[in-house]
Amino acid sequence: MPYKLLFVCLGNICRSPSAENIMNHLIEQAGLSDSIFCDSAGTSSYHIGSPPDQRMSAAAATKLLIKLRGQARQFKKLDFQDFDLILAMDRENYKDILSVDQTGQYHHKVRLMCDFCSRHTLKEVPDPYYGGLEGFNQVIDLLVDACEGLLTYVTSQQLIQ
């Protein structure tokens, strides 16, 4: 069974699909594609079925030479059972995810993405949607840092078989 990671932001078109694709890129480079599975979702239903934001895709292509794949979907209660670790991009997403789990049974599975950063000090991944190009580039840099830390965490905790 692969270890399953779910990245969550508000609309699932900027931050979480970027995290999913960056993480998949790092997993492939490490030869761990059979051991770790990634997906992403949004807490809102605004963009269901939409591809990643073009500005986000352009930043990923320019900075990392990777193509952002995926279609937006909404976070659902079943995700708590299906995933081993759920990564929220900001505190608002974190709160929204926890509110779906009213019993608190799965709260231990939910973490903030920036908890895994080693080079950046930001505690949340800012939403670049209403900003300029620089915001999208900053998100890519932050997520590369966090994904590298996350991969180290997952492999060092012997969470994968």
Asked if 79 contacts 41 with a C-beta cutoff of 8 angstroms, the reply is yes
Q: Which of 9, 38, 117, 147 is catalytic?
A: 9
With 0-12 / 13-18 / 19 or more C-beta atoms within 10 angstroms meaning exposed / middle / buried, residue 25 is middle
Q: Which of 15, 39, 53, 79 is catalytic?
A: 15
User: Active site includes 55?
Assistant: no
Could you give the angle at the alpha carbon of 20 between the alpha carbons of 19 and 21, nearest 5°? 95
Instruction: From 27, 26, 8, select the one nearest 17 (Cα to Cα).
Output: 8
User: Active site includes 91?
Assistant: no
Q: Which of 39, 53, 90, 127 is catalytic?
A: 127
Residue 118: partners with Cβ closer than 8 Å, 6 or more residues away:
145, 148, 149
User: Active site includes 9?
Assistant: yes
Active site residues: 9, 15, 127
